[in-house]
Amino acid sequence: MKPRHFFFIVGLLLANVAQAQPAERPIKIMVAPDHADWHYKVGENVKFTISVFQNGNLLKNSSVRYEIGPEKMTLTKRDSMLLATGTTTVEGGSLKTAGFLRCVAVVKVNGKEYRGLATAGFEPEKIVPAVENPADFVAFWDQAKADLAKIPIDARLTLLPERCTETVNVYHLNLQNFREGVRLYGILCVPKKEGKYPALLKVPGAGVRPYYGDVKMAEKGIITLEIGIHGIPVTMDQQVYNDLGAGALNAYPTNNLDNRDRYYYKRVYLGCVRANDFLVNMPQFDGKNLAVTGGSQGGALAITTAALDPRVKWLGAYYPALADMAGYLQNRAGGWPHIFDKNNPHHHTPEKIKTASYYDVVNFARLLQVPGYYSMGFNDEVCPPTSMYAAFNVITAPKTADLFLETGHWTYPEEVEKMNNWLVQQLKGM
């Protein structure tokens, strides 16, 4: 894949906060570690069972190839074989340090390839971050927030009648962000019934797209604000976003990476705080109950927002990105957008490595003081579990890890339901 198209394509893959399950296919290749909980001790050997199914039955005499290795790193084993009975067990080896070992298997049937994987965790709770924690990290962000506070909110609301329901008003909102001329756009959903309500900020996954707001959560009696991050209206035709994603906003996660004051995500992180500035000043806000949630890039933004803004009382994050991005510099998987992997040697400069440390989710996770609910899986190939655990392990605030082990960069409906139920319970004291 050409580098200039990488972030645009990934952005399309991450288009929703909670990704849909992969589509069912006629051939299913299942890979499973020999521990039901997928957890192992460092030094303990893992075995992977590879099975190929057609119409619910094992597919005999199928030819499979497989590879095993630490996620995103050099393979330790590669082989192929004929599955006379449709299933086999292979030795996966072990790890000498805390981390994850992945087995990927591929079978070709009738000219089409089918793929499955499983990832064994070796004492992941002992993973230690690779990223530097700058001595002036807190001072840098305190100054950034102080500068933001000097900028008027200048909120502008446009009612979207076609999106309103009997009980919820829906608006296109835009605010003044961290400097004059830089705007923040989103979809605001407000219960129509007079009263005071808790508020939920919804922060987006990677990419460039329109947004529609969370009417369903608003119908539960919660003000919701779903924001975009690029300073453009979020109600335009999809083709506009496609063009921007392939053009001006392509590869935005590395824009000005060599300068901590001009890096793209500075506006993004401060924009999340600015969105909260608006929410807490709404006359309908109940004055105390504010939460933030998102997945992937949005999972990262949920954590950074809760760390930066003491008005946030709870956070919910699916598979957070931007975590321990420097992992690659220590020969292990780093977080999306994989800035420092071997395919991006031009980013391996002292300036870029230093800038990234001021925006790495790990360093925000260290500051969290509010309860968080974290939902993720071991098979995530976009946000490696090594990177997610590097952030999760440094959190000292109350935390719950809800593991859906076989999920990749997607969620089950039940997973989303559990997250939403948790957020409603916190916000409404249920």
Residues designated as active site: 296, 380, 409
Taking a C-beta distance cutoff of 8 angstroms, is the pair 190, 216 a contact?
A: no
Site of tokens 């399950």: 21
**3-state SS assignment for residue 230:** coil
Polymer length of the chain: 430
Chain-centroid distance of CA 11 in Å reads 12
**3-state SS assignment for residue 292:** strand
- Tokens of residue 16, six digits: 């929703």
140: CB partners within 8 A, 6+ apart: 134, 260, 358
- Tokens of residue 279, six digits: 């929410």
Secondary structure (DSSP) of 357-425 = HTT-HHHHHTT--S-EEEEE-TT-SSS-HHHHHHHHTT--S-EEEEE-TT--SS--HHHHHHHHHHHHH
Distance CA 335, CA 383 (A): 5
Q: For the chain, give me the number of helices (H) and strands (E)?
A: 10, 18
Taking a C-beta distance cutoff of 8 angstroms, is the pair 207, 294 a contact?
A: no
Taking a C-beta distance cutoff of 8 angstroms, is the pair 73, 333 a contact?
A: yes
Taken in order 141, 143, 145, 148, the sign of the CA dihedral is negative
CA angle 104, 105, 109 (to 5 degrees): 150
Secondary structure (DSSP) of 18-82 = SPPPPPP-SEEEEEEESSTT-EE-TT--EEEEEEEEETTEE-TTEEEEEEEEETTS--SEEEEEE
Distance CA 24, CA 57 (A): 15
**3-state SS assignment for residue 350:** helix
* Partners of residue 292 on adjacent β-strands: 201, 315
Structure-derived torsion over alpha carbons of residues 40, 41, 45, 51, reported in degrees to the nearest 10? 0
